[in-house]
Amino acid sequence: MKKEKKKIKKSSIDAFNDSADSNSDEAFIKTRFAVIIRDVMIERGLEGGKAAETLDINKSEADALLKGKFSDFSLGCLLSLLDRLDIYVEFVVHEIPPGEPPKGLRISTSF
């Protein structure tokens, strides 16, 4: 019996847009926020108990963030953690001019 070949779909540059998950925008935002949190934790030397105390979470949650494991954290929780790190988050909404393609989400950082 011959094995049926699977069709391979060429991916775009943005893996989140290729996702069948309807929450790809949320996944993108959560990923960016988690990376920012992890980078700030590393930059400030926040590990273990010190990180947990600063972020007001338990040590295993702090360790998970440092390892890039953030799927159990809600978007709201990640925003709270950014606030506890004194990271200012600003949302800016722009209207897309008629005839221009949608721009999607963009997250800019100053560090």
Q: What is the pLDDT of residue 4?
A: 54
Q: Is residue 75 included in any domain, yes or no?
A: yes
Q: Is residue 71 included in any domain, yes or no?
A: yes
Q: Is residue 108 included in any domain, yes or no?
A: no
Domain of 49, CATH number, reads 1.10.260
Q: Is residue 109 included in any domain, yes or no?
A: no
Q: What tens-digit pLDDT sequence spans the chain (111 residues)?
A: 555 554 444 444 444 444 444 478 889 999 999 999 999 999 999 998 999 999 999 999 999 999 999 999 999 999 999 999 999 998 888 888 899 887 777 777 776
For residue 27, what are the contacts with CB-CB under 8 A and spacing of at least 6?
16, 19, 21
Domains in the chain: how many in total?
Answer: 1
Rounded (5°) CA angle 91-93-102: 125
Which residues constitute the domain of residue 70?
22-84
Q: Is residue 12 included in any domain, yes or no?
A: no
Q: DSSP characters for 56-81?
A: TS-HHHHHHHHTT--TTS-HHHHHHH
Q: Is residue 30 included in any domain, yes or no?
A: yes
